Structure 1
Amino acid sequence: MAIDFTEYFEKYEAIVAEVDAVFTKFETEMGDLVKCGKGCSDCCHALFDITLAEAIYINHKFNENFSGLERSQVLERADKADRQIHKLKRKVYKATQEGRPANEILNEVARARVRCPMLGDDNLCAMYEFRPITCRLYGVPTSIGGEAHTCSLAGFKGGEKYPTVNMDIIIDRLINIGKDVQKGVDSRFKELGNMLLPLSMALVTEYDEHYLGVKGVEAPKPKKAAQTGTTFTGSKPTPQEIVAPGAAPKDDACSSCTEDKSSCSSCDIKTVVLGGE
């Protein structure tokens, strides 16, 4: 039986409307500094995670609007992006184990580039109308954890004071919707609402009773995703894998890891939330 997410989607869309209004205000009042335009895809290579509410919403819209060859091509790109992100997170974990400074590691992550699976060959977003909130605000000054960020291609200059969007407040509101989902479906996963994951993983996940941990529904044994008729071979995350925000899927990237098996559990737990500048 499909879960009805309508009330959560309405809450999410209300936040999207507010965010779009804020961006429009920047364009109206500081149009010479906002450089976003058709064909610019700088934000489409930034690394960031999305909340559960966004993931379910975007997944729903993807399933509604994509089929056939176009869908298969997106899933192939999502699989490729997942593998890149998974390897990067393992690299980050290894760096923390070596004692490298946190700022050095985070700066390295911020410089990493992974192509968004929704970015088409024409350099346009195939799902622009339903893009994540981070994408909607990428070209204007934002604050995350008290630190200011902005697109490197924008006209906003360092050292100057500008109106800034507090992303922490927006993320808290999105996480609260995720918590509402957790309570609404009566999930046995207490931290489900706090979950963060890459867009690429959100596209290939099936947000059903098993994944969301609905009480009374027996969880299936983990298994690899079925072939889709393309080269997509990534494994869908299962309920048992919801162990930490941003946890990467267990796929073939594990076989290329240089760590021994004893480090696997620590690697899965000590993941990081990726955030582009």
Structure 2
Amino acid sequence: MQAIWQGLNEIFTEIEKAFHETKKRYPKEVRCKPGCVDCCYALFDLSLAEAALIYREFTRKPRGVRREILRRVEKYEKEWLRKKPAVLNPFVISAIKIRCPLLNDQKRCDLYEARPATCRLYGIPILIAGETFVCGFSGFEPGKSYPTVYFEKVLERLASLSDKIAPDGGKIRVPLPAALRGRFPGVQLLTQ
């Protein structure tokens, strides 16, 4: 698994670099700051590699923190069942706002260092399925050209890492609650 952790670190380092370069070039448009939690209400799933990292870091937290996160997971799942649309696609899902179970009452992520690519990219323009997405609180103007991260390329790299965990692991997408519970259908994780 060491190669997986190293690969994730490389991807996350590149994402951080792209984020900081965009923020440096467009400081008025990138409005991310401590206490802003809009990204913590966006729905997302995880690559198998990201899910394994989340699970590993979750299991390293003190028992009380783990219990509190799992309490929030139950609340998250109930909210999802209440809001789940009949048709699932990225555009419909992006409109649903549910508090991430990793967001604690101090408006901090309990697994910030292990947060997935989606969270790391939130706040700068990203391209998904030919459509550009930005944070609703950003200052990026519609129709204007900005540096954009091609999310499909990030997903391809994450899939490649996931393939090293399990056959066809790159095709597996893991919901956050399943990752926190260590439930990966058909996959035995060794998270050392």
With the length of structure 1 as denominator, give the TM-score of the two structures: 0.63
Contact 2:40 2:103 in 1 (8 A): yes
Give SS of 2:127's match: strand
User: In the alignment, residue 41 of structure 1 is paired with which amino acid?
Assistant: V
Unmatched runs of 5 consecutive residues or more in structure 1 = 97-101, 184-190, 215-277
Residue 147 of structure 1, aligned match among 131, 136, 161:
131
Q: Where in structure 2 are the equivalents of 1:162-177 lying within 5 Å?
A: 162-177=146-161
The residue number in structure 2 matching 1:192 is 169
Residue 22 of structure 1 pairs with residue 6 of structure 2: no
Q: Give per-residue Cα distances to partners, 1:228-276, cap 9 Å, x unaligned.
A: xxxxxxxxxxxxxxxxxxxxxxxxxxxxxxxxxxxxxxxxxxxxxxxxx
C-alpha separation between the residues in 2 aligned to 1:23 and 1:182?
A: 30
Shift of residue 155 of structure 1? Answer: 0.7
**Counterpart residue number, 1:70:** 65
Q: Does 1:81 align with 2:76?
A: yes
Q: Give the Cα–Cα distance (whole angstroms) in 1 for the partners of residues 3 and 71 of structure 2.
A: 31
Q: Number of aligned residue pairs: give it.
A: 189
Deviation at 1:108, TM superposition (A): 3.9
Deviation at 1:82, TM superposition (A): 2.7
Matched, 1:12 2:8: yes
Code of the residue aligned with 2:176 in structure 1: it is L
For residues 80 and 21 of structure 2, the distance between their equivalents in structure 1, rounded to whole angstroms, comes to 34
- Residue of 156, 179, 189 corresponding to 1:202: 179
Structure 1: distance between partners of 2:188 and 2:50: 18
Letter of the structure 1 residue corresponding to residue 172 of structure 2:
M
Q: Which amino acid in 1 is paired with 2:14?
A: E
Residues 52 and 162 (structure 1), Cα distance of their counterparts in 2 relative to 1, 3 Å cut: same
Of the three residues 184, 187, 191, the one matched with 1:212 is 187
- Which of 21, 28, 31 is the equivalent residue of 1:32? 28
Q: Equivalent residue of 1:71, what SS?
A: helix
Instruction: Give the SS at the match of 2:30.
Output: coil
Q: For residues 103-252 of structure 1, what are the structure 2 equivalents within 5 Å?
A: 107-183=91-167, 191-205=168-182, 211-212=186-187
Q: Which has the higher contact order (CA 8 A, sep 6+)?
A: 2
| Distance in 1 separating the partners of 2:50 and 2:3 | 13
Which runs of 5 or more residues in structure 2 are unaligned? none
For the pair shown, the structure with the greater C-alpha radius of gyration is: 1
Q: Secondary structure at the match of 1:111?
A: coil
Q: Contact 1:82–1:201 (CA<8 Å) still a contact in 2?
A: no
1:45 and 1:115 in contact (8 A); partners too: yes
TM-score using structure 2 length: 0.89
Distance 1:193 1:121, change over 3 A: same
Cα RMSD over matched residues? Answer: 2.1
**Alignment counterpart, residue 54 of structure 2, candidates 55, 58, 80:** 58
Residue type of the partner of 2:70? Answer: L
Q: Deviations over 1:167-191 (max 9, x none)?
A: 00000110111111114xxxxxxx4
Pairwise mapping of residues 236-275 of structure 1 onto structure 2 (< 5 A)? none
Kindly state the Cα deviation for residue 88 of structure 1 after the two structures are TM-superposed.
Answer: 4.3
1:132-184 residue CA offsets vs partner (Å, 9 max, x unmatched): 1111110000000111000010010101111100000000110111111114x
Aligned to 1:272: none
One-letter code of the match for 1:201?
A
Q: How many Å separate the matches in 2 of 1:87 and 1:194?
A: 27
* Amino acid paired to 1:202: A
Deviation at 1:84, TM superposition (A): 3.0
